[in-house]
Amino acid sequence: MTAVSFDTAPKTAARRRERWANGRTYISAILIFIWCLIPFYWMIVTAFRDVGYTFDSTPFFTHVTWDNFTTVFSENLGNHFGRNLLNSLFVAGVTTVIALLFGVFAAYALSRLEFRFKFLVLGFVLGASMFPGVALVTPLFQLFTNIGWYGTYQALIIPNISFVLPLTVYTLTSFFREMPWELEESARIDGCTQGQAFRKVIMPLAAPAVFTTAILAFIASWNEFLIASQLSNDQTKTVTVAIAYFAGAQAHQEPYTAVMAAGTVVTIPLVILVLIFQRKIVAGLTAGAVK
């Protein structure tokens, strides 16, 4: 087995084998591309298609129109998509800010300081992030109905914190662990107080990690459906709920093209954000899981 290929097999065979392996990699890569992107592409094509051609199977942009987008944002059908968008922005934004505010300090302590119960705290945080949403919906539904919070923004933000905060703490902890903390020590030797060292040296270094975590937290909160579908009313309904129960011009007839347009509006900013910060997001997603 050992030296055979060096002696007898001509170079071209090895090269051909290599080219074949490369070819297989490209074929697989193209398959993955198609599998991941075609449904998304199909949504966009349909979003721009005239209602009369909803089920047209041409894979290109045909019968292009902006009508579906005007339908989505018109209030005539009882939809309030603009308002839903603002609701989602507000709920996800506030959730992200709160989760970061509390998460940064906890993650700093978990990654940097030595204390008792550390293992327990991490276990609790991780357990919390895997907690089933339904276990919260029932008691919160009753509680919020009793105290008159049903359909308020806080009724959506508070449950969202329950899964966004653990995510924030967990991701930030693994990011912080990778940071060059020696710099903080050096700054202190050079005469900074602990607070100064943290503000002037560590904070600028931590900014990208915090920003990445903010994106992950925002996406998680923006995508939330279960809690929003149960605890929001017409005023506070978020986009995911709005899309799921979008009303069309005809009763009992799914307004496919309009829904695809709504989906496009909600998805495109996210996809752009994700593509721009692709590397960081992958780092954030995989941070805790493998090390």
Partner 1 sequence: MSTLAQPKKAPETPSPKTKKVQKEVGQDRAATSQGRWAFWLISPALVLLAVVIVYPVVNAIIMAFQKDQGLDPVTKVFVQGGPAGLDNFVHWLAQQCGSAACAPGTLGSQFWSAVGTTFFFTVVTVVLETVLGFWMAVIMARSFRGRSALRAAVLVPWAIPTAVTAKLWFFIFAFDGIANKLFGTAILWTGSEWPARWAIIISDVWKTTPFMALLILAGLQIIPAEVYEAAKVDGASAWQRFTQITLPLVKPALMVAVLFRVLDALRMYDLPAIMTQGSNGTTTLSILVVDQIRQGFNSAAALSTITFLIIFLVAFIFVRFLGANAVASATPKTKGQDK
| Contacts (CB under 8 A) with partner 1, residues 225-244 | 225-226, 229-230, 239-241, 243-244
The three-point CA angle 273-91-260 to 5° equals 55
Binding mask 68-107 for partner 1 (x = CB under 8 A): ------------------------------x---xx-xx-
Compute the least distance from the CB of residue 9 to partner 1, in Å. Answer: 15
> Residue 21: CB partners within 8 Å, gap ≥ 6?
none
Using CB under 8 A, which of 77, 94, 205, 270 touches partner 1? Answer: 270
Closest Cα partner for 285 from 129, 131, 132? 129
Site for partner 1, residues 15 to 34, rule: CB under 8 A? 22, 25-26, 28-29, 32-33
The H-assigned helical ranges of the chain are 4-7, 11-47, 67-73, 81-112, 118-129, 134-146, 154-177, 182-189, 194-197, 203-222, 226-231, 239-244, 256-276, 278-290
Binding of partner 1 by 259 (CB under 8 A): yes
Closest Cα partner for 172 from 223, 212, 218, 131? 212
Cβ proximity of 183 and 202 under 8 Å: yes
Site for partner 1, residues 209 to 228, rule: CB under 8 A? 219, 222-223, 225-226
Using CB under 8 A, which of 85, 91, 161, 187 touches partner 1? Answer: 161
Using CB under 8 A, which of 10, 120, 148, 195 touches partner 1? Answer: 120
Using CB under 8 A, which of 15, 19, 118, 200 touches partner 1? Answer: 118
Compute the least distance from the CB of residue 87 to partner 1, in Å. Answer: 14
Cβ proximity of 74 and 67 under 8 Å: no
Binding of partner 1 by 2 (CB under 8 A): yes
| Closer residue to partner 1, CB minimum distance, 94 or 219 | 219
